[in-house]
Structure 1
Amino acid sequence: MLTLDEYLELLALNHQGWSIAEISRRLGRDRKTVSSYVKGRRVPEKRRTAQDESLRYLSYCRQRLAEDPHLPARCLYTEIVELGYPGAYSTFTRVLRNQGLRPPCPECAGRTHEGEAVASAPSEATVRFDWVELPESPPGWGRADRAHLLVGLLPHSGRWRAALAEGVDLAHLAEAIDQVLRRLGGTPGCWVFDRATAVFSADSAKVAPPFAAVARHYGVRVLAGPPGGGRCAACGAIRATIRRWWSGTVAAGGSVQAAQRTLDQLAACMDTAGRLGSHLCVAGQKVAGNGPLLPLPDKPVPLWVCSTSTVSADGLVRYQGNSYAVPRHLTGARLEVRRRLDRPYISIATAGGAVIACYELAAPARGLTVTNRCDAIMLQRPYSSTPPAVARCKAATRSQRSSDAPAQVGFPPQHEWATTRSSV
């Protein structure tokens, strides 16, 4: 379309006898466009933007997206084109974004999408998880490497709990998280982790897909801590307290369960004293949520936890303060103890994966010797280290257009509109 100045110049040049090709080169316009203006088939006029046309269909789009928040923009564009919308798809999507017509899906709200770490609202309750690497374990624990302890801090109240873990992999992390949350009495809506943990991908701050399934199991969101592993003052005070507890209580001896009991008592005493501050630094911002804790699922996330143990001279395998019988000819062998977190059974297998025996899990730290095998539930099936699929929002299912939607743009109800179209 030519502007008014270009059109006036075109008329003057044509009156002077210029050819259409010469005028086209002078104005930088296509010859067909110049020819249509010279012959009077087109005249300059104000362009009517497609965005102005989109305003007529805002009510229709708002109702359709309220009926189906996951309705693709392409499907919605096809519907309004049938109703008479003349604009392009790019213009329609721009208006859709600028007007903020798409509402949030209630089924997806508060959940963590795979591969994405979402920010936390300042008023949302938050828990900060932090690994504490302790010195070498006491000889009676039967662990060759260092001891690991996961601390969970509620910044809005200063309460914290901790759980001893055999490792820092995903399965042991999920087990320790469940133990910490059950000691706290619930879970906040947002979890904060250090970027150095196994929660996030190695090359970014996005949540790893296996841990995203763990977060969906508890119905929470996951947030990355500050870059560089920075910690708040409250976390530093807890770490110093735990190191003093380790050097003064655990290093002298005792079982894992006894150490866990004394640690719970220490945390409860600090709750009463109220020594910790109520601030938490997250990604350069202070998060001080005071929302209520959410209820926990009845069972932990279905992940397999594996640990190794050496068979004693009596043909026993130590696990969580109890002993489980295996054939005596395996004395001195390193066996693998497997347990799924949501089931009260353990299976003892060789390094090659062959299951030797399966037992019902005894209460921890009872000093029992378990010899009655559960042959009916031998775990011979292959197991997976990732949780099963969790039901998600049915975003791929399209909803039918209601009879009230066409009326938002001045059209008759759907049955009358369909009759009119068929008659045409």
Structure 2
Amino acid sequence: MTLPSTHDVALAAERRSAGRLLLAHPLVTAGGPHADLFPLIRRHADWLGKRFQQVLGYRLLVDTSYARLFKAGLGAGSGHRLERSTGTPFTPHTYACLALALSVLVTAPEQLLLSRLVADLKAAAADAGVELEGTGRAAEKRTLAAALRALVDWGVLTETEGSVGAVAREDGGEALITVDREIARALVAGPLAQSRDGADLIRRAADPGFGGPRTYVRRRLVETPAVYLDELTDAERDWLRTRQRREAQAFSELLGLESEIRAEGVVLVDPEEELTDLRLPGTGTVAQAALLLVAGLVERLRPDDPGHPAAGGRLVVGVPVPDGLVEELLAGAVAEYGRRGSWQRGYLEDPAALREAVLDLLVRMRLMARTGPLRSGGHGLPEGYEAPLPEGRAVTDVRGARGPGAEWVLLAAAARYATRVTVRRAAGPAPDADAPHDVQQELPL
């Protein structure tokens, strides 16, 4: 066997670094926070463009001053939200301000006053029939400031004199801003011209095209914390079951990601902890409370005999959470840790707000989910997407993989946060190389 040369190793490392950066930051500018790696993206632009297109169906545009990876959606309810600097998620009103600002900026002069931009934005809102007034004038100004701040962070706007935050001041402060129209035009990735409305745009943006199940599952693997079998269509499960080992190697070489393959699904893990916008364990009141809650739920709810598909057992993707258990465990965490620690006073005085914030984090981490029917038959994608299974091929029976009967379900990946670990090996011969693991690390839920 011929070992790779030092040059080949260095080349692969450069491409992997550039690919990881684009995956985490789909817009990289020559003068932005990742300017030091921008030359690396330009150097390997052709190779990166081909690989992103082949593996994920993503288009890469590399210009002299910016690189833009046009990602695709995953269907309704699967987006990654934008947040303010405080961590507060954008509201629909903030997204509306952001879209209206972009509609103005693509044809704006290179420099303009902040007051002119606001006036043009309000005119665009009137033309589109969008009501900009929020709960009050001060709230409206803060919402608009948050949208403009996002555009500054992305490099669409440069604060030449003053700050876009002046729009939220009572005295109506002024600022001079510089506009990069090229970046403004490159921001929107979805097929706006072909879409009838917002729902149609979401469906079209998630269309995997000729890649079908292969492309869609790959996107879910790299864009979400965990992929469970029972939320995939039959065609998607069949493809993942037969390709998961090969895909693990491909993701390792392209992006340096390690695959954890379990009977319940697959998780891609980043050893460098760079390719995620969510962290658990993490800092702050919500993250600390979420860690204590999920550990407590795993301790209480892990099945005594979960079974295993390879041994003829029933697949368990999630277990129902009894009513009141979340509140009980959170109250205990507050009493034992919160009141003597540095947890935010607002959360300590408002248990309902703490519960909502903690559950929101765990849902986004794919550790908990609300009960109810899963999306099926293409995840809201265009009709005709789901391909039939080849004759004679079967997939795992996932009916009833999440126990019914409660508002919330604790999902299998939560077992990673167990306070004790049990390893079980299924009886029988070793599975095929492309079959699910026969080892369950920590008890599957």
TM-score normalised over the length of structure 1: 0.23
TM-score normalised over the length of structure 2: 0.22
More helix by percentage: 2
More strand by percentage: 1
